[in-house]
Amino acid sequence: MGILNITPDSFSDGGLHFHTDAALSKGLQMMEEGADLIDVGGESTRPGASPVPIEEEIRRTIPVVEQLSKRGIPVSIDTMKPDVASAALESGAKVVNDVSGLRNPRMIELIEEKRPTVCVMHMQGEPRTMQENPSYVDVVAEVKEYLLGIASRLTLPKEQIWLDPGIGFGKTVQQNLALLQSLDSLVETGYPVLIGVSRKGFIGKTLGDESPDDRLEGTLATQAWAQIKGAKILRAHDVKAAARAIKMIAAIQSST
């Protein structure tokens, strides 16, 4: 899953693809580099980010969703807002990626009505506050319980419900590492698991506070770990590198 942020303030690539032509060009490039689908988002969810009005999020994302979809490119819409998700589905999107974990009942109603594939993510708190003091008794058990609870409310086929433990969303470095260490406990539920670790802060802190641009090696290592553990979808900024790593690991796995 190639990440396409149409925002001025995303933590890694904010502003690079803010205009429709630049975003479209980047989306096409990522498909050439090996992406299977493009995740279009118009609101930054980095720690401390402020909400974007519905109309502005639609203005940013829908032209890109339309243009990519017209070219036959699978698109997911990265949004917490039912109105944005609805507009994106009408414009050709096939997946709704909701980082709030379907907290809004209207989002569940939309998913049940339109029946797209949906990614349910776990997030403690909200983007503006999620990293202030994340606290769990048992982060692995609590994240799994939440995701399965939401998944059980949906009548979609199991393969259309992706579970995302929300690495970096209301978790400390150690909590992120614990979720990755125990990823097989989520994989064994039988739902496809999506992992988004690309260039995230816990990688920089683990390796010595590197900036987002210096986190490629840590990202690839973490994505490889997730793939070996059974994750089915990897959300990536560096699509070419990620796709090549995925292909190499798959070749090794298939040779045994």
- Active-site residue numbers? 200, 235
Q: Spell out the residues 6+ positions from residue 71 whose beta carbon is closer than 8 angstroms to its own.
A: 28
Beta strand 233-235 with 194-196 is parallel
Both tokens of 30, joined, read: 């990522």
Both tokens of 59, joined, read: 């203005």
Q: What single letter denotes the amino acid at residue 184?
A: D
209-215 — which CB contacts under 8 Å span 24+ positions? 212/11, 212/12, 213/12
**Which of 73, 56, 83, 107 minimizes the C-alpha distance to 1?**
73
Helix axes 82-90, 54-70, angle to 10 degrees: 20
Q: What single letter denotes the amino acid at residue 247?
A: K
Residue reference for tokens 């990614």: 119
